[in-house]
Amino acid sequence: MSRGETVRYGPVLYRDYPIGTLGLMDDGLGVSRVFLRREGVQYDFPEGETALTFQAAAQLDEYFSGSRNCFTVPLSPHGTAFQLAVWQALRDIPYGQTRSYGEIAAAVGRPKAARAVGKANHDNPLLIFTPCHRVVGKNGGLTGFACGVEVKCRLLELEGGV
């Protein structure tokens, strides 16, 4: 996405999961946003379901039931070239495994950019589909996570990685 370009999202589909209510949105090309709905926050998105968000929700149902460990729904993340590279590196982390911020930085060719990787993780628009929860501190500790370390821990436990 170039700077200043407006992303046109479809309606949001809300679905309850063990970690909370997730909102799923698409841009007509793929799922482009998955977020954890927060209590007390007003969301101004129209609600509805599209074929893509229905497919994404079905795959998340399977993920949370333990019968799916990879996703096939089309994804359409919007970000800078660096963010897109980081998010792809996150999708390359196998289910049930973790990587450090430094390892992701090295994987995208910027070995000294661990902090920038952390920022890209924080800005990840595709919770779970782009598994930023699989990134840990260099000592293996569960460091920051935009949805809270408790949610990160629950996702890693689901995947057998903690």
Q: Rounded CA gap, 51 and 156, in Å?
A: 28
Q: Quickly state the pLDDT bin for 149 (edges 50, 70, 90).
A: confident
The predicted pLDDT at position 4 comes to: 52
The predicted pLDDT at position 1 comes to: 46
Q: Quickly state the pLDDT bin for 6 (edges 50, 70, 90).
A: low
Q: Is residue 86 packed enough to be buried (19+ CB in 10 Å), middle (13-18) or exposed (0-12)?
A: buried
| pTM for this entry | 0.89
Is 132 among the residues known to form the active site?
yes
- How far does CA 162 lie from the centroid of its chain? 18
Structure tokens at 36: 């954890």
Q: Quickly state the pLDDT bin for 145 (edges 50, 70, 90).
A: confident
The full set of domains in the chain, from first to last, is 81-158 (1.10.10.10)
DSSP reduced 3-state for 139:
coil
Which tens digits make up the pLDDT trace of 118-143? 999 999 999 999 999 999 888 766 77
Q: For the chain, give the mean pLDDT.
A: 90
Query: At residue 115, does pLDDT exceed 60?
Result: yes
Q: Are 34 and 133 in contact (CB under 8 A)?
A: no
Strands 135-136 and 99-100, bridge-based pairing = parallel
Q: Which of 70, 132, 147, 153 is catalytic?
A: 132
**Helix residue ranges, H only, 1-135:** 51-65, 81-91, 101-107, 114-122
Q: Quickly state the pLDDT bin for 2 (edges 50, 70, 90).
A: very low
Between 151 and 50, the more confident residue is: 50
High-pLDDT (> 70) share of the chain, %:
93
Which tens digits make up the pLDDT trace of 38-71? 877 778 888 999 999 999 999 999 999 999 999 9
Rg of the chain, C-alpha, whole Å: 15
CA 23, 72, 2, 117 torsion-angle sign: positive
CA angle 30, 39, 127 (to 5 degrees): 30
High-pLDDT (> 90) share of the chain, %:
75
